[in-house]
Amino acid sequence: MDNTNLTKIKGQTPISIIVHGGNYTSFLLAKTLLEQGSHVVIIDKYTNSSKQYFTDLKKTGKVSFIDFKGLKSFYEKIARIDYLYYMLGQKVEDNGHFDSKDFLAETDYLNSSLTAANKYKAKISLVTSMRLNRELANRVNNEVTGKTKPYSPLELQRYGENFAAEFVDKTKANLRIIRLGTLLGKRINNITDSILDKLFTDSTQKHQIEIEGEGLELHNLIHESDAIYGILKLTFTDDTKGEVISLCNRNDYSTLSLAYKLLELDVEARAIKFVEKQSTDTVLQDLYVPAPNAEQFGWKQNVSLEESIIEQIQAYYEKSDKKWDADKVNNIKKYKAQDNIATTSKTKLGRFVYNITAPFRKLGNPKDVISTLNYTTILRNITITSLSLLVIYFLIAPIIGITLGSALIYKDSKTLRDSLEELNFDKLQQSTSNISSNISRVENNLNRIYWVFKLTNGVNEYRNINQIVEGTGYAMDSAQDLVVGLRPLGEYIKDFEPAVGFGEEKQNSREYTEYLKAIDDNQYSVKEGIYKMSLAQNLIDSVDTKDIPKFLQEYVLQYKDLINDVNTTVKPLEKVTQFLPDLLGVNERKRYLILTQNEGEIRSTGGWISTYAIVAIEGGQIREMFVDDIYNGDGALKLQGVTHKTPNSMIRALADVPYTFSLVNWDPNLDNVMLSAEQFIYDLGKGNEIDGLITMDTLFLEKLLDKWEGIEVPGETELITSSNLYTKIFEMQTEFMPTSTRKSIFLTDLTNEILTKVLSSKLVDYRDIGDILEESLTEKHIQVTFKNSTAKSYTDSMGWDGNIDSKYQNTPVNIDWNWGANKANLYIKKNHTLDIDIKDENTIDYKYQIAIQNDSTSNEFPQGEYVNYVRVLLPSSANIMSIKGLKDNKYDVYNEYGYKVVGGWFNTPIKETSTLEISYRILRDESGLSFPLVKTDTHFDMDINIYKQPGSKKDAYNLSLKFPETWEIEESEGMTRIENNVNRRLELSSDQYFNLSWKR
Amino acid sequence: MKKWKSALIMLSIIILISTFLFFVPLDGIIKYLPILNSFYKNTTLEITTPNGKSTVKIDGKEYGETPTNIQNLIAGEYEIELSRTSAVEGYYKPHIFNVVLTKNSTSRINMEIGPDDSLHGVVLYYTQDLIGTKGKGKITLTTNSENAKIYTDDDFLKSAPVSNLDMNVGEYKMTVTAENYQDLKFQIVVREGYILNIKGYLLPNPVNFEIVPSDG
């Protein structure tokens, strides 16, 4: 055989080398290896006896033969060794005598083989004879027999085992020593154990079995197939690395016991005869301790001793040309051939696939399948599978699902937050959709484990948790709808490029009509979103946190607050999306009037008007911006000879003062001011109509300047900041009469610059001034009203329009009008005191005091006497009992704006304090539905709405209410209760609301 | 070693199955399978629009005019668009309602459509309640008005909105009232194991202006 072929062997074909392979045991081993697909290399002397084995093996598979002479060159050339079986035991048992040359040669072969195998990290098995090892041990332990002869089989074997052990220590080779028992089998013609050989020979050829001595020698036996199976199994198992193992049947047998067994088997011999032992080396006591049996490493004896003996007897009968009927021997179990001794050719994946396809291969033999069907096993397997699936579906999978879902929701919610900040709608839609889907999945999973809560009496916990999940689901569905609905608005905000700019900045004239129309079209999504959010809020708010596990309660409470806040935020969006497109000029151009008011000189709607501006918006883009001094307007109208009818109440207060554009804010209701101003604008030729009115005072401008850290104003050498603003204002306006034309170029230019800066910003930048805008709207430093009814209703509901609605009839409303041509309002302190005395369910007395302290130190502008025409608005049905403190005790009482108005001059000189007091009574019979005390079947309810005049500072307000002693108060949130009195001290920074309730 | 490997493989299989069941709910597949989907098609959708006819579109597909009774849609959420027919084009806006159809139940839209956003009527649909009490069903009611009050058989029930409110099974005459809005009356049937979702749309009352003389 051409040995160079060994380099071309595929990687998946293992290479097994058997040294001393020319014997029966090695033949069986090689045959098995070949059947398993291995490539086998036999190394031995080429003799007549070994030749027969080689010829048989060639027919079986890929086998190579190497003589010992070519051993070393073979090891040099071979590309790979996977397994090495060194059959030393067979060698020493077959050859009874060795000389030194043989000994040395054998040690050399052993050394070369081990070195070569270890080089390729092969698995190595040194197979020795257990019989010789027992004999060696007994000799060593027995003083009489003493030492062994040099170059004897015993010594060779001992040397081989010691060498192998040292080799392992040095090189950590994957080597094990297998001590093989005496083989029995149907093709073994001569048992290597001479005693046993005589036993079997005698039993098959003589009438009696002769036993030398007492027959107490012990023998370790093994069937040939068990031996081969054992060698292979022990070699392949990594657990046997470095071990010495006894491969034999678990029990050892004495000569005598074996002889008895032979007699039982219907052999020729019929008796046992004991003869004197001829040899002198009798072992007095067998002290041999064998190495651990192969059973400890997973090997199992498959062939029973009886079967082995039967086969061996048959072999001996055949050897002596006699016939022996083995069937006569009953009740011997047939052994099964080892099919799968080793599966060296399959990889793990191959084995896996082989196992998976095993059922399909079996289908090729349906008869075998049917015959091996076990219905009990099938039923058991089906039951186990079904139960397992049920447990997984109803317990394990839901728990894993809820955990997985929660993790995914958490991850997506982070993405959601980022996308919201970036106004990335695609990501927003994706995130909300993902979260919504995952919540629905979590809900499904939660439903599947309802039975667990029911079993553990946790139905209430389940309901509450389910409510939270359901509510969150609604919240996410809402978010999805809101994203769809508000997307056009968001994109408008993101894409908006103003047409207004500073100086020569490039201006964009793009319109955004398509965005505005899309806002309109998507309203239903917004409505749906708000509906679902209110459902979510309702569900989550009604969760009873006491029924939630303690460690979650804090989070649930926080979550409730969050949902409430979100619901409050999104609720107005329905109305906003309804009117916003119209306000932004989706169908036609919209004009808005902006008035700048100076609250240092207070007027009805906030302050003295210095500047007016017209801003026109069409298609979402600013189309016009015109800013001018109000007195330019007055002047133009005066030149044209245009006059306007002065309101009667203004005539009462200011006599012949003409009703000019600068005094258009006489009426405290912004809606009325808008309608009046529209006429002025029309007369000025600035437009046929205005669609909305916005007022802003200098306090708001101051806040903006503070935020922006100043602004450049044409004509000013220094940056205008919040610190020098008022100084600049005062510079311009000295020594004027209230009716003087007080041109304020500075304020006009400032307003122009501020409006330009605001309107030229991208809408996204409004976030920076968002807080200022919100605060200013609440505190009435900015007011807005529109003609669009939905927008008007919205601003009214938010309290941004400054109108004195009927709800303020429950408390007196104070409107100041500074007519001193100074900024005395910056130097006064005002204190309101309102005492309400509920006499009975039909009678309420009010006593209202206003105390003004003028801290001006001189009459020099901007300080001075606070010349104030005050109007106090009372319920129209009020019965005035007393009025004290007005100048010369002169006052007017008339009906206007749905109120009874008390007007008069309430002046406060410098460094003095003035007090105004009005007392009045209201009766149920006279008030009708507007009587503040509402009577229901079970309660008395009273709303107290306190109006803050726009432009006024944070006046101190003391409210106290007295009620009958017999009444039991139930609700008085925000007020301090003492017996039958409730009171509250506050700073009137914005409109205030209190609700009181008594049990009847 | 082998035992640990087997345990790891078993655990991996369980996690794989659980993850599969998480992302692919069996219910969602079954309702689209032939033959089995017939169990999910037992739905009815009734649409009526008093004082006028409207064209009906469901998820963009036309389904004729009201009054209409549509059966055997697969259970799920649908977008119903109603456009009132009028001699003057564009006089009435189309309105979209989201309705959930649940198997073995009837959903109803009874809506009077006015100009702009004027709507008066009710959208009713059932959703399954897996944790209900025996002999009781639930209702969820929302309205487009603030401070609405709900009456059943003329007895005050609660202020709107309500979510998952337990009620005994049976028929009820519902009335929803709100200040400055017209009352909304309709019949409902509370069923065990179901949540009846009600969306009420109330029409604002017409406003009468009274002119009061002013001295100002």
Task: Look at B163 and A466 and tell me if their CB atoms are within 8 Å.
Answer: no
- A-chain CB neighbours of B215 within 8 Å are 648, 894-896
* Shortest CA gap A648–chain B (Å): 5
Q: What are phi and psi of A659, to 5 degrees?
A: -85, 95
Residue B147 falls inside a structural domain: yes
Q: Please state whether the peptide bond connecting residue A862 to the residue before it is cis, i.e. omega within 30 degrees of 0.
A: yes
pLDDT score recorded for residue A780:
94
Mutate to test the interface with A, among B22, B180, B207 (most CBs of A within 10 A): B22
Closest by Cβ to A466, choosing from B98, B131, B199: B131
Residue B30 falls inside a structural domain: yes
Distance CA A249, CA A229 (A): 13
Annotate B94-113 with DSSP letters as a single string. Answer: -EEEEEEE-TTEEEEEEEEE
Mutate to test the interface with B, among A348, A406, A434, A531 (most CBs of B within 10 A): A531
* Shortest CA gap B186–chain A (Å): 20
Expressed as residue numbers, the domain containing B123 is 118-206
Tokens of A213: 């001595």
Cβ(A362)–Cβ(A368) below 8 Å: yes
Are B155 and B85 within one domain?
Answer: no
Task: Look at B130 and A895 and tell me if their CB atoms are within 8 Å.
Answer: no
pLDDT score recorded for residue A101:
87
Are B75 and B136 within one domain?
Answer: no
Are B96 and B124 within one domain?
Answer: no
> What average pLDDT is seen over chain B?
85
Are B93 and B145 within one domain?
Answer: no
* Shortest CA gap A554–chain B (Å): 23
For residues A794, A800, A804 and A805, what is the CA-based torsion angle, rounded to 10 degrees? 20
Residue B26 falls inside a structural domain: yes
Are B193 and B132 within one domain?
Answer: yes
Distance CA A942, CA A674 (A): 33
Residue B8 falls inside a structural domain: no
Are B94 and B133 within one domain?
Answer: no
- Measured N-to-C along each axis, helices A573-583 and A789-798 cross at an angle, to the nearest 10 degrees, of 130
Task: Spell out a b/e string for A183-212, using b for 16 or more CB atoms within 10 Å of the CB, else e.
Answer: bbbbebeebbbebbbbbbbbbbeeeebbbb
Closest by Cβ to B199, choosing from A450, A531, A895: A531
- B-chain CB neighbours of A450 within 8 Å are 130-131
Nearest Cα neighbor of B187 from B113, B110, B129 is B110
Annotate A908-931 with DSSP letters as a single string. Answer: B-TT-EEEEEEEEEEEHHHHGGG-
Task: Look at B215 and A894 and tell me if their CB atoms are within 8 Å.
Answer: yes
Nearest Cα neighbor of A975 from A990, A960, A992 is A960
Are B91 and B133 within one domain?
Answer: no
Q: How many domains does chain B have?
A: 2
Are B105 and B122 within one domain?
Answer: no
Report the relative pairing of strands A63-66 and B95-101 from DSSP bridges: unpaired
Q: What's the CATH code of the domain at B156?
A: 2.60.40.1120
Tokens of A232: 């292979």
pLDDT tens profile B68-124: 999 888 888 899 999 998 888 778 888 888 899 998 899 999 999 988 778 899 999
Are B149 and B128 within one domain?
Answer: yes
Domain end among B78, B109, B140: B109
Distance CA A806, CA A804 (A): 7
Going across the sheet that includes A913-923, the strands are: A879-884, A913-923, A843-854, A828-840, A955-962, A981-988, A976-978
pLDDT score recorded for residue B1:
56
pLDDT tens profile A158-212: 999 999 999 999 999 999 999 999 999 988 888 989 899 999 999 988 888 999 8
User: What SS3 class is residue B201?
Assistant: strand
User: What SS3 class is residue A872?
Assistant: strand
Residue B212 falls inside a structural domain: no
Residue B211 falls inside a structural domain: no
Residues of chain A with pLDDT under 50: 1-4, 333, 336-337, 339-343, 506
User: What SS3 class is residue A113?
Assistant: helix
Task: Look at A535 and B23 and tell me if their CB atoms are within 8 Å.
Answer: no
| Domains along chain A with CATH numbers | 1-180 (3.40.50.720), 383-578 (no CATH), 588-798 (3.40.630), 806-999 (2.60.40)
Residue B66 falls inside a structural domain: yes
Q: Report which residue type is found at A790.
A: T
Residue B214 falls inside a structural domain: no
* Shortest CA gap B172–chain A (Å): 22
Which residue blocks in A522-572 are alpha helix, DSSP H? 523-541, 550-570
Are B104 and B124 within one domain?
Answer: no
**Region B8-30 average pLDDT:** 83
- A-chain CB neighbours of B216 within 8 Å are 647-649, 894-897, 901
pLDDT score recorded for residue A797:
86
Interface of A with B in 563-582 (CB under 8 A): 578
- B-chain CB neighbours of A542 within 8 Å are 163-164
Report the relative pairing of strands A244-247 and A933-935 from DSSP bridges: unpaired
Bridge partners of residue B156, in order along the sequence: B151
Bridge partners of residue A66, in order along the sequence: A43
Domain end among B67, B87, B109: B109
Domain end among B63, B86, B109: B109
- Measured N-to-C along each axis, helices B2-23 and A425-448 cross at an angle, to the nearest 10 degrees, of 120
Task: Look at B18 and A463 and tell me if their CB atoms are within 8 Å.
Answer: no
Cα A892 vs. chain centroid, distance in angstroms? Answer: 70
Residues of B within an 8 Å Cβ radius of A: 14-15, 17-19, 21-23, 25, 27, 95-96, 98, 117, 130-131, 140, 142, 161-164, 199, 212-216
Distance CA A773, CA A781 (A): 9
Tokens of A492: 């408008």
Neighbour tally for A420: CB within 10 Å: 17
Closest by Cβ to B19, choosing from A404, A531, A535: A404
Closest by Cβ to B161, choosing from A445, A538, A898: A538
**Burial zone of B83 (CB within 10 Å; 0-12 exposed, 13-18 middle, 19+ buried):** middle
Task: Look at B25 and A441 and tell me if their CB atoms are within 8 Å.
Answer: yes
Distance CA B1, CA A821 (A): 98
Cβ(A179)–Cβ(A244) below 8 Å: yes
Q: If you measure CA to CA, which chain A residue comes closest to B21?
A: A397
Are B131 and B82 within one domain?
Answer: no
Are B31 and B98 within one domain?
Answer: yes
Closest by Cβ to B18, choosing from A392, A462, A647: A392
Distance CA A658, CA A120 (A): 116
Report the relative pairing of strands A83-86 and A15-19 from DSSP bridges: parallel
Bridge partners of residue A899, in order along the sequence: A875, A896
Judged by a CB distance cut-off of 8 A, whether residue A798 touches chain B is: no
